[in-house]
């Protein structure tokens, strides 16, 4: 009983602070919310603050949203601006990984990323090296490192901060993608429908254009 109360308190606090909960980023929290009764109790608690417990379309993760978004237009406009600013470098990273692995599939929850493998492929491909250089020019992934390893470490450090990956093996520099990549896909689809901004358009924007948009 005490554990459930502690979980409830920790989970609601995390959600209110903007934490994104999936089975890879916060497995204990995720398993707690997978129980319908627990999810309802958390939802009722959040409702008292005009907040809601939301799930991704495929149910892969939980996050906090406004219960009456029309009453929070200024906050939502700011959030939308921040999403637009982070989309470009994140999509550029997605494309880099696709090309480095020579596959069409995008990063999804549970996807394994090995920094040393990625580094090796980039070191042997000048096109990929130039793409990496452009990515670390974005303010989101800004790196002053002159070598590929340093640039990739800065990339993954930021991805951990943003909850897009978790490090599963520090020694071997292995990372696992969280369900936040699924949220990114939903955001891209939403923007494409509402703003007519395609994935290709997002990816074509250069780092130096960031401040102009």
DSSP 132-144: HHHHTTSGGG---
pLDDT greater at residue 192 or residue 120 = 120
Sign of the Cα torsion 189, 191, 194, 197 reads: negative
Where does 2-67 sit in CATH, by number? 1.10.10.2250
Which tokens is 47 given? 């409702």
Q: Which two tokens stand for residue 82?
A: 């921040």
Which tens digits make up the pLDDT trace of 194-209?
A: 665 554 555 554 454 4
Q: Residue 6: its pLDDT value, please?
A: 75
pLDDT at 210 over 60: no
Q: Name the residue ranges covered by the structural domains of the chain.
A: 2-67, 74-212
Residues listed for the chain: 213
Take residue 22 and report the two structure tokens written for it.
């999936």
pTM (global) more than 0.85: no
**CA angle, 63 then 86 then 145, to 5°:** 120
- DSSP H helical ranges for 17-56: 27-34, 36-47
pLDDT score at 212 = 32
Q: Which residue(s) pair with 108 in the sheet?
A: none
- Per-residue pLDDT for 158 more than 50? yes
Is residue 47 pLDDT above 90, yes or no?
A: yes
Tell me the per-residue pLDDT of 79-103, one tens digit each, with 9 for 90 and over. Answer: 778 788 889 999 999 999 999 988 7
């Amino acid at each position: 009983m005490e554990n459930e109360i502690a979980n409830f308190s920790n989970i609601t606090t995390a959600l209110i602070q903007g934490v994104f909960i999936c089975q890879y980023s916060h497995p204990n929290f995720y398993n707690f919310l997978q129980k319908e009764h627990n999810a309802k109790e958390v939802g009722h608690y959040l409702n008292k603050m005009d907040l809601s417990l939301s799930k991704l379309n495929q149910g892969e993760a939980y996050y906090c949203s406004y219960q009456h978004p029309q009453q929070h237009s200024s906050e939502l406009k700011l959030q939308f601006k921040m999403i637009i600013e982070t989309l470009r470098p994140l999509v550029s990273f997605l494309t880099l990984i696709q090309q480095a692995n020579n596959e069409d599939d995008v990063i999804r929850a549970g996807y394994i990323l090995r920094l040393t493998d990625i580094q090796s492929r980039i070191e042997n491909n000048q096109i990929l090296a130039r793409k990496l250089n452009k990515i670390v020019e974005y303010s989101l992934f800004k790196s002053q490192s002159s070598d590929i390893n340093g640039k990739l470490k800065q990339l993954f450090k930021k991805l951990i901060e943003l909850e897009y990956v978790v490090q599963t093996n520090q020694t071997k520099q292995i990372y696992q993608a969280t369900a936040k990549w699924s949220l990114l896909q939903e955001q891209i689809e939403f923007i494409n429908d509402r703003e007519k901004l395609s994935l290709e358009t997002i990816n074509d924007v250069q780092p130096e254009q960031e401040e102009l948009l």
